[in-house]
Each structure stands twice: as C-alpha cells, then as structure tokens.
Structure 1
Amino acid sequence: MKAFPEFSWSYSRHKTLTDCVRKYGYEYYFSHNGWLFDSSPLNKHAYRLKKIVNLPILFGQAVHDVIESTIKHNIKTGAIPSTKELERRVRLSLRTAFLDSRDRKDLWLHKPSRYTMLFEMYYGGELPAAGVQEIHDRLDVCLKHFLHSKSFREMTSGGHIHFLESERFRTVEINGVKLYVVMDLLYRDLQRDKWVIVDWKTGSKSSDDVGQLAVYALYLMKEWNVPLEKIEIRNEYLLTGGCHTYHLTPGDIQAMLEQMDASVQYMNHYKLDTAKNEPVPLEEFQRTSHIFRCRRCNYKELCDTSTNND
C-alpha cells in the first residue's frame, strides 16, 4: 500500500492522457488506494467511478471472455461450440451486469470491484433502448464472425499451431519505464515459422489499432527474442468479419518507441516527484476543451462537483 501508484506506460494510458488530462489524473492518480477503508473521499469516489463500464465496453469484455474460454476449451477437447451456445454465455454475463446495476447499487458503492455498474444506468437511470438494440444486433454477428475468423480457423487447423497465451498481463522495461501488455491471443504457426499476435475487435476500425499491436510486437522482441520479420500482427474485426494482417518494419517500431518517449515526457509534466510518482495537485490536470467527450466520461460527476475549485 504505497502513497502513490507505481508509474508504468501502456497504450491505453497514453490514449487517456491525450483524450483528457483531468480524466488521466482521476484514472491513474486520484483513484489510487480508493479501495481502502481510510482513503480520502476523493480517492474513494474516483475509484468507484473508475470501475463504471459502459455498454459497448461491457459487450467487448464479455465477448473477449467467451472467446478466451472457447479457445482454451478447444485446445483441451477439440470441441467447437455453436453460435447459440456462445450467445447464451455472453447474454448471461450481460444480464448479471444489468442486475448488479439495477438491484445491487448499495453493494457496488461499498465494493465496486466485486459488482458491475453500467454507465448508462448510473447516470441515466436506465438502459437506452437504442443501445440495447445495438448490442443485440452485434451479438450474433460478432460471434459468427469469430467462429469463421482466420485466426480461429488457424487455431483449430492442426498440430502445426502452437498456442502460447491469451489475456495475460505482461510487462517489459523500456528505457527504465515499465510497459504493460495484454495480448488477446498469441500463437506460433510452426509451418510458416511465424509468431501471430491477434487482437479481437468488437467495434469499428480505429487509427490506433496498429499502434497497439506494435507495442505487442516490441514485447515479443524484447522478452522472447523473436526477430521482427517473424512476427505477424493481426486485427480481427468481428463486427464486419474483416481481417487485417500487418508485418511491421524497424521504422514502425522506432516510431512507436519515439511516441512512447514523447508520451512519458508529457506524463512527467504532471508529477511533483518523478521518483515517487507523486502527482501535481488536481487543479493542474486540465480539463479537455472538447466538451462532447465529457458526456461519456466516467468522471463527469466529479468534474461537476469540483467546478468551483478550478
């Protein structure tokens, strides 16, 4: 239990900082120790809000969980479930989250890591019909595309595929900074002598997709001594059924390292003490000027209550 959190870098941390510096402060500093009984009201409040999840994110998490368990079960048994079975399991997960949000708010307030609170219900009181319909429409499509995806077909194609890991937290140190990595799926194609990194996407294509995979490739190069030319990175877009495979160049890796270095320097502006990772006061974490982002931000409640303090 440290007074300040350990500093680390990840692509999601970088994205949070570029979206809104105030949100970055809440997410990585002022929610720290918020799970402890004797924490400050601000830390407890920020920690609870950090645990809120919106419908698209919840849907993505539920699909990822089902994919992970399906792959591991297939490795053990060779069985491939039906779309209906996968759909049933995802719906059960979504239903549990809905019931937590509707009926167990008091429990969530005291133990936000044990229960789920949906953003739409916390701030709006109910799930929007359009949002529920969108999830319903995506569910069958994404699961069918997963079962027919290039990566899953390769995983089930024979003995030349060697499964390595999925959804495991890994770290690698780059220039003295700990970098966090969580790969959706990693396996070796022994026939082609390739290490394949797969990222399952349940939403639309983003310009950041390749950058995230470049971080994964760097991890393999540093920790597993895999040559870059043997690394294949792949985005599986489950909503459309598209599959995009990339072979990175040394220039791509260098660009990612330079982006990371610039990002770390920017993050250091918000530290009073770099060694301790002690943050500057909250009011020095500026709010975004893009107000539209505030409407879907977990921390908008805290920003509203701190208006007179800025």
Structure 2
Amino acid sequence: MFEVQPYPELSWSLSRHKTLLTCVRKYAYDYYVSHNGWLRDADSLARQTYRLKKITNLEMYFGSIVHDLIYQIIQQVLQNKQIPTEEKVVTEIRHHLNRGFIEATRKEHLWNNRPKHYTMLHEIYYSQTNELPVGKVQKITDRLNTTVKNFFASQSFADVLNKQDMQFIESEKFRYMKIAGVKIFVVMDLLYKDLEQNKWVIVDWKTGKSSEEDRNQLALYALYLQQKYKIQDLNDIIIRNEYLLEGTHVEHQLTEQDLLNVQNLYQISMEQMKSYLEEPEKNKPKPIPQFPMQENPNICARCNYQELCFPSSAT
C-alpha cells in the first residue's frame, strides 16, 4: 500500500547527477521541494515546484514523442501486427506536436491542476505568448522526416524485423540495481539478445547530437546488464547508439575500466549529494538557501524554475 513519506527515497541516476552539476538549486527543486507536490493537500510551494518540474521544451517534447512511437512500433512488430508507414508515423508525430501546442496555449488551467497529464512548453510559459520561436519550429520540422526515415533504415530496427533470431527483453521501464543500499536507476530504450552471435545488445535512440556523456550512460547500462544476467565477459555485450538525426549508429566495446569509471563517478556524485542532507538517514535536505543558485544567465534562461529564483522578473 502506498504511504506518503515526508522525504523522498535517496536514489541515483545519470540524469540526477547531471542536474546536480548543472545547478544545485535546480537539483533541490527537482528532487526535494517538488516531493509530494502532486498531492491535493500539499503545501503551495511543493505544488508550484512540481508543476514547474513538469514543463518541457520543444526539443525534449519532440524527443519524447519519437521515443514513445518507436517503442509502440517495435511492440507492433513483436506482436506480428501491421507496421505503420513512414508517412503515417510522420503524421502521428505532427499530431502529437500540435496537441502539445494546443494544450500549452489553450489549456493552461488544466495543466495547472494536472501537470502530469497535460503539456506545457517552456517557450510558451515564460514568453507568455501563444507563439513558438520560428527558428525552433523550423528546426523540429527539419528533423521530423529525417528522424523517422533514419529510424526505419537503422541497424537496430533491422534486428527487430529479424526477430526470429533475437530474444527481446522488456527494456523501457524503470530498472535499478543497488550499491550500498542505494537504488541506481537504469532506463534502456531497447534490449535484446542476438541468438546467432550469442551477444546482448543495448540500444539507445538519440534524436539529438552525440555528446561526451553517451559513453558513461552506456557503461551504466552494461554494468546493470552484467550484474542482472551474470555476464562474465564484456565482449558479450554490444552497446549501440542510434543517432537518428544523422542516420548513423556507433557501437562501443566497453572495458572494465569503463565500468570502474562509472562506479567512481557514482561514488563521487553520491558524496556530493549527501553533503546537502541535514539528516542523511531520512534523506532530509538542508534548507533551500543552502543549495546555491547557478550564476550563468544562459543556463537560467532555459530553466523551469525562473519564477521561483527570480519572482520579480518572471512574467
């Protein structure tokens, strides 16, 4: 039975680590102040913070739509259902983008009450206009057909179509492993075993450009897979990034050093996270003023919490 707790459970993920590095105050809002903000009787700050946490931006919204549709298409293949055409997928993505725009511009009152179930775009919320930046709209429009075309032509989708030689594992759900009692969350886009090669394959779909963080993300996935399925040889794990914008894929052969690096990253990151706790055994955070704010105005301009940090300038 679900029981309301005054403080969240301490956990770790690469996204949580990245948030801490980006802005400690944002980290506090994301993981502590917003806690229980979905409850009807939550205090006004928790509800406001939770609502702001749910704001997305056009690029992230596009990426989430693409990921969701890819998951659905793969499930259709595995269930021997009819596969949609590229044109139909493009049309479906446009439909979702338009729906999100309508929700952000015409249904803010619904989003205010149920922010998890409605879309609010950062570009709309903080501009207080009903128009998206023309440049951003053009960028997403340019990406749309390219991304869908490259997905259908990708190596990983070819593997899905060749499903008789693959053993698919339900991948896109919350999985975790534990280190020293702390849950480390891992969310993989696609996971399967190539029965012919006798190798595990982890796929991560990317709708943006490659980054230096990709390797650590993949190493974390490999560490989870190694522990979960007792895999002794890292050569039995193929890690693949599918860059849908560029139409390329990159496979990595990770080493034990890669796994050690991500474990060291976790330990250093966790020590820093715990330094902001007033009562570590309860995961009770220190008062919000002890979480320093970001001083880079460019980062602040993209943040969901502008109205909390700069209430006088937020419109």
Query: TM-score w.r.t. structure 1 length?
Result: 0.96
Equivalent residue in structure 1 for 2:183, among 167, 178, 185: 178
Q: Deviations over 1:272-307 (max 9, x none)?
A: 011110000000110122221001001111100289
Equivalent residue in structure 2 for 1:94, among 92, 97, 114: 97
> Shift of residue 158 of structure 1?
4.6
Segments of 4+ in structure 1 off by > 3 A? Answer: none
Matched, 1:289 2:292: no
Residue identity matched to 2:174: F
The aligned counterpart of 2:152 is 147
Q: How far apart, in 2, do the equivalents of 1:255 and 1:135 lie? A: 35
Q: How many residues align?
A: 307
Helix, strand or coil at the partner of 1:219: helix
Contact persistence 1:186–1:198 (CA under 8 A): yes
> Shift of residue 93 of structure 1?
1.4
Q: How far apart, in 1, do the equivalents of 2:303 and 2:203 lie? A: 28
Q: Deviations over 1:52-96 (max 9, x none)?
A: 000000000000011000011011126433211111111121111
Equivalent residue in structure 1 for 2:279, among 273, 277, 282: 273
Q: How far apart, in 2, do the equivalents of 1:47 and 1:277 lie? A: 18
> Shift of residue 44 of structure 1?
0.9
The aligned counterpart of 1:256 is 262
Q: Deviations over 1:127-176 (max 9, x none)?
A: 11111111111010000000001111112125111111231111110222
Structural RMSD (CA): 1.3
Q: How far apart, in 1, do the equivalents of 2:72 and 2:146 lie? A: 19
The aligned counterpart of 2:165 is 160
Q: Which blocks of at least 5 consecutive residues in structure 1 are unaligned?
A: none
Helix, strand or coil at the partner of 2:118: coil
Q: Deviations over 1:17-72 (max 9, x none)?
A: 00000000000000001111222221111100000000000000000011000011
Helix, strand or coil at the partner of 1:305: coil
Contact persistence 1:68–1:166 (CA under 8 A): no
Q: Report the identity percentage.
A: 46
Q: Deviations over 1:179-215 (max 9, x none)?
A: 1111000011011111100000000111001111111
Q: How far apart, in 2, do the equivalents of 1:173 and 1:91 lie? A: 40
Q: How far apart, in 2, do the equivalents of 1:111 and 1:221 lie? A: 39
Q: How far apart, in 1, do the equivalents of 2:83 and 2:215 lie? A: 29
Contact persistence 1:211–1:256 (CA under 8 A): yes
Residue identity matched to 2:248: G
Q: How far apart, in 2, do the equivalents of 1:247 and 1:92 lie? A: 39
The aligned counterpart of 2:74 is 71
Contact persistence 1:9–1:264 (CA under 8 A): yes
The aligned counterpart of 1:8 is 11
Equivalent residue in structure 1 for 2:141, among 136, 143, 151: 136
